[in-house]
Amino acid sequence: MPAGQRGRPIDAAYSSTDDIIQFMNAHKLRISILSLANPWLDFLPAAEGPEWAQRINTELDEICARSKGRLLAFGALPLSASGQDICDSIRTLSKLRHLRGIIMGTSGLGQGLDDPDLDTVYGALQNTQTLVFLHPHYGLPSSVFGPRASESGHVLPLSLGFPLETTIAFTRMFLSGVFDRFPQLQILIAHAGATVPFLSGRIMSCVEHERHYCDEAGIRNGGPQRSLPEVMASNVWLDAVVYSSTAVKAAAEVVGKKRVMFGSDHPFFPPLQPGAQVWKSVQTNVEAIQAAFPGDEEAVTDVLGGNAARLFNIPIE
């Protein structure tokens, strides 16, 4: 099969803690946060989801406990199950010592993150102070990339499809008033917030000029009550997996320097050269962070680790 049509090779980097720690040592990473990869547990029958969530979250906690302080984890939720089962799972995993939040895709219970049925889940996440790591999975329909998309392999789906999926999912969440109803909910958005930092002004302008949100006199009586800049600055964290100092600066300008964090994106984007120990993808992100804050060593130190240490309650050596 031509290289551009193959999926990703699944090797030990996806499952071996020895390989993960070897990778961390090679890149001078003291602590990493593990999680399941997509599709998480979304595909499970409702009756099976809670049991598997319990087993997997417990195993993740045990793996971290054996790592001698090197590993933490995001738990998984049984999002195909009932709201009560999901909330029970949130309360259970929030008590596991090494779990620091949950990872969630953009489909929620299957109808997107603006689904009113998710309110019970958001309430449980807020009440337990459980962070949500929002990560894309489905991308965009392949038809939007045109009939020649396969000639560039995975470039279009990964570089454009994932960020646009994330942007749409989070914006729907914002527009539906999730952060009005749950003002303490905390969410970490993958890939530096996708295109949200760049488009936040345009999104707000469209909200302010949307007739659907106004009465006959042009007075706003609908739509999100809090502004997107307010939500971004108080409810949102961004990872810095974006490979560009310009994008890192945009992320920091929107959420603040204290809410942006380095991410390795391991085990994705490994070197294509056999035997290579240093990953260019990791180097590029480190260099982008350093270039984003010239002369501001405090900001560089915070984004490379200090912000994550504070958010995830990790002692700084």
* Residue 159, CA distances (Å) to 136, 164, 176 in order: 12, 9, 27
What per-residue confidence (pLDDT) applies to 315? 83
Provide the residue range defining the domain that includes 30: 22-311
Burial of 19 from C-beta contacts in 10 A (0-12 / 13-18 / 19+): middle
Q: Is residue 12 part of a domain?
A: no
For residue 108, what pLDDT is reported?
95
Give the count of beta carbons closer than 10 Å to the beta carbon of residue 84.
Answer: 11
252 part of a folded domain: yes
Question: How does the average pLDDT of the chain come out, rounded?
Answer: 95
pLDDT of residue 52: 97
**pLDDT tens, position by position, 44-82:** 999 999 999 999 999 999 999 999 999 999 999 999 999
Tell whether 263 is covered by a domain.
Answer: yes
Average pLDDT of the segment spanning 238-252:
97
**What per-residue confidence (pLDDT) applies to 150?**
87
Number of domains in the chain: 1
Signed CA dihedral, 265, 306, 255, 249: sign only: negative
CATH at residue 269 = 3.20.20.140
Instruction: Report pTM.
Output: 0.95
Q: Let me know if residue 105 belongs to a domain.
A: yes
Residue at 107 is within a domain: yes
Give me 267's structure tokens.
């085990």
Going by pLDDT thresholds of 50, 70 and 90, the confidence category of residue 3 is low
| Residue 254 or 5, more confident | 254
Average pLDDT over residues 160-180: 98
- Asked whether residue 17 is domain-assigned, the answer is no
The per-residue pLDDT for 147 is: 94
Q: Is residue 3 part of a domain?
A: no
For 202-214, what is the mean pLDDT?
96
- Whether residue 16 is contained in a domain is answered as no
